Amino acid sequence: MNENEYISKIENCKSLKELFDIWEHKEPQTINIGKRKKRDIVINHKKNFFIYDGIVCENKWNDKNNKKILFMLKESYTTDEKNDLMKWLRNGDGYIRMWKRIARWTCGLVNTTAEKVYDFDKAEAIKDGEGREMLKKIAVINLKKSNGKSSSDMAEVNAYASADKKEILKEIELIDPKMIVCGGTFDSLRLDVMYPHIEKKEQQFYRIKIAGKDRLVLDYKHPSCWGTNKDKYYGLMAIYQQALKNALKTQE
């Protein structure tokens, strides 16, 4: 299959399953990365791990009241050759520290308004069962689909974002989120996937057209970054509330 045929197949995908079936068997590509210390990496989904992501629970995602929040992360860390991240979260197996934090962030985003930020203590107090249900409302994209490391190499993640930008854009289109929360991935998206929609970084929230629809994009830290749970929670809620206030001003 030549490059034009491959791109045409990606653009005509009607489901995430169809997209992943093609993406997983993408031809190898060698990319030179690094600024001071140059090195080659081979982006080859056929020989490396491929970790499926996307919508955790279709029914919850498509509920008319769902805010449709997509978390854009760096990479998944697993020892399995093939792994379905969504099944892992849907079954409740993935309710560990980072995902508990994402569940609480989701709770805050769902309940925060332009007038009032949802209280951290209330979000923190949700029981494990409620947290697992909260994760069923979200979608997740990892920029790097092959197996990651406990500490991400951003040069490598950026290389994947650049090489797979058409696939990533198609995945966003098929998921169709209303809000995208970038967990340490905004610059990767801005420079490679969403360019030229955002030519330079000026703030921490953007309303831009991705895959033909307007989306709210929040530029924030990775859920596993340093800092207290409370500080990280209120930092994200502050950005979201400002975005809501800004939207109200533009409607006046």
Residue 59 resides in a domain: yes
pLDDT band at 31 (very low <50, low <70, confident <90, very high): confident
Q: How many domains is the chain partitioned into structurally?
A: 1
Residue 241 resides in a domain: yes
Residue 3 resides in a domain: no
**139 forms bridges with which residues in the sheet?**
55, 70
Residue 78 resides in a domain: yes
Residue 7 resides in a domain: no
pLDDT digits (tens, 9 = 90+) for 203-240: 899 988 887 888 999 999 999 888 899 999 999 999 99
Distance CA 31, CA 43 (A): 7
pLDDT digits (tens, 9 = 90+) for 81-134: 557 888 888 987 778 889 999 999 999 999 999 999 999 999 999 999 999 999
pLDDT number for residue 226: 84
Average pLDDT over residues 185-194: 81
Dihedral over Cα of 122, 128, 131, 133: its sign: negative
Does the structure show a pLDDT above 90 at 49? no
User: Residue 166's domain is classified under what CATH number?
Assistant: 3.40.470.10
Take residue 132 and report the two structure tokens written for it. Answer: 């697992």
Q: Which domain holds residue 150?
A: 50-251
pLDDT number for residue 68: 98
Residue 33 resides in a domain: no
Distance CA 213, CA 208 (A): 8
pTM metric for this prediction: 0.91
Residue 238 resides in a domain: yes
153-160: Cβ within 8 A, 24+ apart = 154/74, 154/188, 155/33, 155/34, 155/35, 156/33, 156/41, 157/74, 157/75, 157/185, 157/188, 158/33, 158/187, 158/188, 158/191, 158/192, 159/31, 159/33, 159/41, 159/43, 160/43
Residue 18 resides in a domain: no
Average pLDDT over residues 129-149: 88
